[in-house]
Structure 1
Amino acid sequence: MALALQDEQRELDAAPSTDVSRRRQLTHEQVLLLYERLWQPVLASVLAACLLVGAMWPIMPPSYLLGWLGALLVVSGGRLWLAWYFHRQPAKRRRQRRWLYRFAWGTGIAGGLWGVAGLTMFTMEHHGQLAALAIVLTGIAAGGVTTLSPVAWMAPLFVLPTMLPLLVQMLLQNTSLALLLAAMIVLFLGLVLIINRRLHRTISDNIALRLLVSSRERQLRVSEARYRAIFRHTPLGVMHFDREGRVVDCNEKCLDILGNSRQRLLGMNLLTQLNDERVAGAIRDALESGTGYFEGTYRTVVSGKQTPLRAFYSALRNEAGEVVGGVAVIEDFTERKLAEETIHRQAYFDPLTELPNRRMLIETLASTIRDRRDDGRVGLVMFLDLDRFKIINDTLGHAVGDELLRQVSKRLLLSLDKDAMAARLSGDEFVVMMPALSSDRQAELSRAEHRAERLLSTLRRAYDLGGQHISVTPSIGYTLFPLGDEDVGDVLRHADTAMYQAKLKGRAQICGYEPSMQTQMSWRLEMEQALRLALAEDQLSIAFQPQLDENEHVIGGEALMRWHHPRHGWVSPEVFIAIAEESDLIVELETWMLDRCCGLLSRLPVEILPRLSVNISVRHFTQPGFVEGLTWVTGAHGIDPTRLVVELTESIMIDGLEDAVERMQALKQLGVHLALDDFGTGFSSLSYLKSLPLDELKIDRSFVSNLDTDGSDAAIVETVLAMAQHLGIDVVAEGVENEAQHEFLRTRGCRLFQGYHFYRPMPGEAFEALLAGREVEQAGQDRA
């Protein structure tokens, strides 16, 4: 196996890799395209020539017209013969550059013949014939661009000889009409040459990508051989035992985990010699029912080593279906245990900013409200929202947006007293709580304004984001508590309402809550009504972010809803989705999106778009008839349900794990694939995954973004990947923004990727164009 690996590596190293070789290969592919497309312009040229001769017949000598037509037919026949002869040549001879020059000669001569027509058939007295001449020449020139653009200079070689004689004739007439027509010809030539340049770039990029894919396939063969060679050195322990439970074989990692030598472990009876009945019971389960599972701290028989491990046992059967033994896959999850504890900690802290998150804020604020009612003092809550954050995030990228949020968090911490608390609520929303002020409400109300102004002054200073100095200001709303018998939700809602009131005043504004303030409620009601109208008037659209496999092939995408309001412009999904989720409107929106996505799947065959992911909210998922509705829409569009991936969040388990599993099982029976989105940021624990019928996990972008800088995030991602691999669940890493993250994930076994490193979310037309481009590449590979 090692020799085979070396041979394949030598083959890969011998493959052309220099810039000169790549340029030669690119030129060869361009020439292939020229000859494959040649029959189209030649046929169109002959038909157009016949039409032109018919139009000129009444006003020009028939002998001349027939002579010109005959010359064109001879040239056209010669070009077709050249294409036929080219395709009969061996592949090696077709790579010679002379074929490009032969093609160019035919193209130039054909363009010259059309130029002769423009020069000799020109007439200002017969407007009909002049119009026919101009239409035919411009049509032939425009059509030539579409087939000659693989080589940048080939289209000008045809278009300029075709059109310049007509332009010269127009200029020689020296009339206003002729000069106007000449100007139009100049404009047409400019546009045609620009279009030719763009088409050439697109085709060249597609060819280069196809060549890259071919190179990656060679690399994949080497990788597969390498993986086979290192299987016995996998980081997981693998053990083989017979029907009586005696150890037959194991790898080195298994010996390391169990702290045993090979001589002592081989031949040991796992059913009788183990001092842990839990492990023996799991092995019996595997031999009797097919599978067994153990998770816990295990103390080995010989060495007494205690190791937290997880073991999966599976029965091995012969051709008759009889159990002849079993195999165990053992994982030492000492480090993963620590990572799981980190995930638990992140239930109370935001992984990006390391500030307390919503859950911790709510629990702390609830306790503080009770304390203030008891001692008569007041507390202060300030709600902050960063102005223009979405524009910065969309324009400069998520990496810059994340860094901005981190710097804002640091400034918040430095500007607050030690008993104050700053929390990140979501997105670019922060909450500052000062838990214990004085009992003088009026004095503290006045001081609250000054505190908010100091905070505003601190946060509005420019931020250094990778050499760019960006100024961002917050809108701040504040409220004192307790005002009466309000709870945590009331206090946060008061501060939130005051913040939106501040936003209505403009950027960098401060506003305190007043009981009579209803602006926010009115605004939300207005937006909800506008959203209902948007659904009826087709203001909503869907963007798609492609998903790629390990070979960077586009194998699907995620559908993302967008809303362009006639007056407010693009509305943030965080805003209108939140509004929709407060009512049953989210069900209508997601039903609309499911219908559109199923329609796209029905239009595009599985070879072009294998799968498409759609986010489904908890409210929609728990609606009666959700499964039936999904069954109907897939049937109405006639699509295979296995091409649809329903993405759910961990919050589906809030109302009960059993109900969630029951609904998910119904979707699985339909054939729909299920994905758990934003894994690790919600309510579930790793143990829930054993109960959920999932096909894939989506690692939350908050873990992916710090892979190359944060060891904890890297450990968490490794945990999720290893766990998913053992459970047979695919993993999609979203939010991949650089090659370092991509390489880290790929080498750890992640096979599906999504993020700005590959593609940003794009409109449906661009997504279909991307997929169509991939189809062209694959078709080209088949021909090659």
Structure 2
Amino acid sequence: MPSPPPAESRELFGASLPVSTQCRQLVHEQVRLLYERLWQPVLASVLGACLLVAAMWPLLPATLLIGWLVVLVFVSSGRLGLAWYYHRQPASRRHQRCWLRRFAWGAGIAGAVWGAAGLLMFTMEHQGQLAALTIVLTGVAAGGMTTLSSVWWVAPVFILPALLPLLGQLLFQGSPFSWLLSAMVVLFLGLLLTVSRRLHHIISDNIALRLAVTSRESQLRESESRYRAIFRHTPLGVMHFDGEGRVVDFNEKCLEILGTTWERLQGFNLLEQAEDKRVSGAVRQALVSGTGYYEGTYRAILSGKQTPLRAFYNALRNEAGEIVGGVALIEDFTERKRAEETIHRQAYFDPLTELPNRRLLIETLASTIRDRRDDGRLGLVMFLDLDRFKMINDSLGHSVGDELLRQLSKRLLVCMRDGDMAARLSGDEFVVLVPALSGDREAELVRAEQMARELLSSLRKVYDLAGQRISVTPSIGYTLFPLTVDEDVGDVLRHADTAMYQAKVKGRAQVCGYEPSMQTQITWRLEMEQALRSALTEDQLFAQYQPQLDQNGRIFGVEALMRWQHPVHGWISPEVFIAIAEESDLIVELETWMLDSCCELLARLPAEMLPRLSVNISVRHFTQPGFVEGVTWVLGTHGIDPSRLTIELTESIMIDGLGEAVDRMHQLKRLGLNLALDDFGTGFSSLTYLKCLPLDELKIDRSFVSDLDSDSNDAAIVETILAMAQHLGIEVVAEGVENEAQLDFLLARGCRRFQGYHFHRPMAIELLEQLLSRSQESAGSGQITD
């Protein structure tokens, strides 16, 4: 087998090819040389054979000489035929190892035929003929050495069989003359083998050098082709400049970003002609230290085009390591800036009024509280709530209500001074933040009252809404902050909210400032909280259930809704007692009871009858340290399939920390529960963070569904939610479906799950079980009907 290429040959290849590939290519070239040069030594050997036969013709029988010559010609013809067959083969077959073995066999047989001449034609009596024999054999051996050394061991295969018989004959004679000749043959043989080995290394190095050059040229062409393809088609602008800062080459994208032409940019000197000194500074830094960087809105001096971009400048060096120029990679930030602004606006601004939303308000207020605490000055928060806004929505429609909110927002902005903020908190609630007043509390209380009344006067003016002149008044509560050293955002907003509630109690369209002695609302809430605690122990709380249906009219699930019937006050709205419960730890107790009741119902009813039950969980309960463990315990206690239980959460779970909320939701998913996002679209971060949440279901808030047939904004929002949910692979349940028109709209947009008065109102457990029994008996009987 051929040996691997010597170290010198491997160095010639460099690191461009693996060692195994280098060996194969080198061997293939060595074998190719053997076959390409074969006709020359074969022809020479046949001519030498003819001369040797002529020299021996007077001494030896003619039949012997002719017979030997015929054998030699036959072997030579066979070798030439093998070479001809080799060259006729495709390149892939010529690379097979069998060709080297075949050649070696031919060389060995040819050498043996010449060795036979050393035996058959040897004569000591005729020294002239002996000398001719010796000269011809050594010459043939020398010729084999020069033509067979590309593979180091093939030359000895031919040389040794050719000379060893002659050497043996000379040694066998035992005369001084024969010993002298034998010594000369031995020296010549050693010289041939040594030179053959040396010649083999030279040939191998030459082959390796040629292959390396070919490989590197191919790699260079491929690399240049790749670079040119990247240069032409990359989404980045690429610009080459020389050591003097002159532009020497660039791609089409570079011209597009800079808004110029080839004629103007070619030869432009970045060091001297660039208007923005940061550009020339970055280029100079690259030419000195190797790298430079620019980021900003670049104004092209040639075209005047202003483009937000960043550029990376890198030096180009010659073989000596000297910087001879550079290349710039230019990225257009226009779309990125636009996308960032869009994302920022979606995350921090209300889409209806374009005012800052709750999230931006909370962040700004928190920062302002810290600043006022540090500098000793005061800030002001005014809490606004429109009086009887629900009546406008109900009587005139949500589109009119939305227009009212937009006009009111514009008036708010007109009233703002530099540095003030007006934000939409939710619904018809707005907050005005005046971040910096003086440190004189008494003077600022008077000033705050005056500012609130001026704001009230401006906002209560008549609004022109779709040709109707409507007068709407706000109730305004205000508070100065900070009141205490540990006052936080929640405290400030709660104080302003309490003051606003007192303004409504005073008769609406009023202004009221917060006072620490203002305890009426707080007392009422405490009384309700105590009554709520009693309601839990005295069985005043119970659950009602509202079925959820698919497009075929089948009940696929039920939502459990908490209800409270007070022994004195009668029915208490969930919006009232849930809000009170959420301000205390009562919500955890209420929802724990509700969760246990739901699991008990699931354990009692078979899955065929009640496939799935949904229960609402508040953010306060969800963020409790032992929430997941509690859910695990109640599931195990009742022995139900976790996939039959759906936990409904609201977007407020993301206010305190998205990462922690996602982790906890993944824990619930690992238990096997379903997760739904309730009231979707009303929060501040729906579109921004939705993709991070492991949700199974979205519930479109009823506020969007109720005016689908009359409000194009709500219709657009619902269409967007459905398309987005379909793209994310999340099921959608439309809440608050109350009529056939809403249902048709939702069905046409791909919504397949529904809940609302159009199908069923919330009902007691007994009625639910009857409904489920009837539904199971008539399963699959038709489409959705009233």
TM-score by length of 2: 0.47
Tell me which structure has the larger Cα radius of gyration.
2
TM-score by length of 1: 0.47
